[in-house]
Amino acid sequence: MNLRAYRKEFPVLEYWVYLNAADQAPPGRYWIDAMRECLTLYEAGRVSDTAPYDPATHPFLTPVFFECIKRAARLLHAKEAEVTNIYRVMTHANLIINDLIKWERGDNVVFSDIDYPSIPYILLGLRRKGVELRRIKSVNSEVRLSDLERVVDDKTKLVVINRTTPWCGFTHDVKEVVRIAHEHGAYVLDDAFQAAGAIDIDIHRDGVDFLLTGSYKWLLGPEGAGVLYVREDLIEELEPSFRNYIWADVPTGIPFGRPDHDNIKHWDYPLVKNANRYDLGICVTPILFGWNATLEFLEQVGIENIEGRVRQLGNYCINRLYEIGVKVVTPEDPRKRHGLIVYTTGKYKLDLKSYERLNNTPPGEKPVKVSLRYVGGLGGIRVSCHFFNTEEEVDKLVEIQKNVLQEEGVNT
């Protein structure tokens, strides 16, 4: 891997020790350039539908819409028909939970206390429909399969997971989660925002029903794009009540040019039988240009290479943190994590001080960009080790942290 060349794609690495992809990826030249190219094409009035990248008035009229789908499907080892473009995770989590799944009084939904709150917030609304919320409490930074087995029953309609949780990096054995849920006839919604782009996801091997991820964290893209995956055999039966006319399965294509165009007769067709039936019509063309360039960039680097490097740096980071005696909150078992590593000094005030010190280095030294995050009784300083990071960057973090501990008289 030509790390030096890849690092040049992220100009902010010159100014920051950037260990913060779990919050937001450093902007990549590849997507900034692609978005600029889109604007240049607009300016030049290039709106033909033959050239591969010309922007048009609707993103679905641009080949780039389909190219994003093709590449995202390849990334997840999915079929193109199972994937569509989204704007954010939350928009389509709402569609799945409030529209596609038909709830009955007495049903229940299972999730955990270390899930990102955007989906739990949607689930709270289900109480009005008489749906019971079953929240699993994490134990030792894990959502245990034994707890899932205990809580899921024949009234469970949905199991929600964060494939990797943002608060400690715990990463599920998704195949096992699916096995437990499917034994009881429940769907699995996999929020993979903290996993996609860091690890190689084989969606058919895992067997999840729905997967959502956004573009702007480990996938290293611009904000405002993402992926919805729906298992192929569910697509026909899961009809959205949100109807986007663009995806009416009109056999002769859009009839606008016909002199006899009739807005009922020529439109009275069901939605297409692929994941585009779930397109809410809120994608934006310049963003898709950037997103497509991002997916192309990831293909060049290779998701297996990325995963290898993310895991290697994650191990390195954990070992270095052990050396200075902080508590690593992330599970030690490498099968239960990747490069998202969380640690704590054991005291909130000292975590906060460390975080502030990392961000405010003396003049001439690069600040260390990390996050401070807590939920469900766990958390601390979150270090995102992505493939473009280096051992020296992790060393810098450890050095500053060690100094803070020494100043406080904590033995390291």
Instruction: Outline where 207-284 has alpha helix (H).
Output: 232-235
Distance in Å, CB of 312 to ligand PLP, minimum: 23
| Interaction between residue 24 and ligand PLP (CB under 6 A) | no
Residue 164 CA to residue 146 CA, distance in Å, equals 18
CB 330 within 8 A of CB 141: yes
Count of residues in contact with ligand PLP, rule CB under 6 A: 11
Residue 272 region by backbone torsions, left for phi larger than 0, else alpha for psi between -120 and 50, else beta: beta
Given the complex with ligand PLP, which of 66 and 116 has the nearer CB atom?
Answer: 116
Q: What residues numbered 62-121 form the site for ligand PLP, per CB under 6 A? A: 88-90, 116, 118
What the block records as the tokens of 154 is 């024949």
Instruction: Rule CB under 6 A: say whether 166 interacts with ligand PLP.
Output: yes
Which is nearer to ligand PLP, 55 or 214 (by Cβ)?
214
Min dist. Cβ of residue 195 to ligand PLP (A): 9
193 lies in the binding site for ligand PLP (CB under 6 A) = yes
CB atoms within 10 A of CB 371: 18
Residue 240, token pair as written in the block? 């959205």
Could you give the CA distance from residue 126 to residue 109 in angstroms, rounded to a whole number?
A: 9
Query: Is the CB of 13 or the CB of 25 nearer to ligand PLP?
Result: 25
Q: How far is the CB of 233 from ligand PLP (least distance, A)?
A: 26
Mark residues 210-249: x for contact with ligand PLP by CB under 6 A, - for none.
Answer: ----x-----------------------------------
Distance between first and last Cα of the chain:
35
Pairing of strands 327-328, 340-344: antiparallel
Of residues 118 and 361, the one with the C-beta less far from ligand PLP:
118
Residue 38 CA to residue 285 CA, distance in Å, equals 8
Region of residue 7 (left: phi > 0; alpha: psi -120 to 50; beta: else): alpha
Does residue 191 interact with ligand PLP by CB under 6 A?
Answer: yes
Which spans in 118-163 are helix H?
Answer: 118-124, 145-151
Contact 168, 114 (CB under 8 A): yes
User: Using CB under 6 A, which residues numbered 118 to 147 contact ligand PLP?
Assistant: 118
Cα gap 27→31, rounded to integer Å: 8
User: Which H or E run contains 343?
Assistant: strand 340-344
Single out the residue of 194, 276, 345, 389 in contact with ligand PLP (rule: CB under 6 A): 194
Give the span between the Cα atoms of 157 and 186, in whole angstroms: 4
Q: Least distance to ligand PLP from the beta carbon of 63, Å?
A: 26
CB 309 within 8 A of CB 1: yes
Least separation in angstroms between CB 110 and ligand PLP: 16
- In the complex with ligand PLP, the residue whose CB is nearer, 26 or 214, is 214
Is 197 an interacting residue with respect to ligand PLP (CB under 6 A)? no
Q: Alpha-carbon distance 255 to 250, whole Å?
A: 8
Q: Minimum Å distance from CB 275 to ligand PLP? A: 18
Shorter beta-carbon distance to ligand PLP: residue 108 or 162: 162
Figure out which of the listed residues 85, 112, 156, 162 binds ligand PLP, where binding follows CB under 6 A: 162
Nearest approach, Cβ of residue 115 and ligand PLP (Å): 7
Only segment of 1-9, 191-199, 239-247, 314-322 that touches ligand PLP (CB under 6 A): 191-199
Question: Using the rule CB under 6 A, is 374 a contact of ligand PLP?
Answer: no
- The beta strands (E) that lie in 86-238 are given as 108-112, 132-136, 156-162, 187-191, 210-214, 226-230
Nearer to ligand PLP, 187 or 193 (CB): 193
Instruction: Rank residues 250 and 375 by Cβ distance to ligand PLP and give the closer one.
Output: 375
Report, in Å, the least distance between residue 91 CB and ligand PLP: 7
Which chain residues interact with ligand PLP by CB under 6 A?
A: 88-90, 116, 118, 162, 166, 191, 193-194, 214
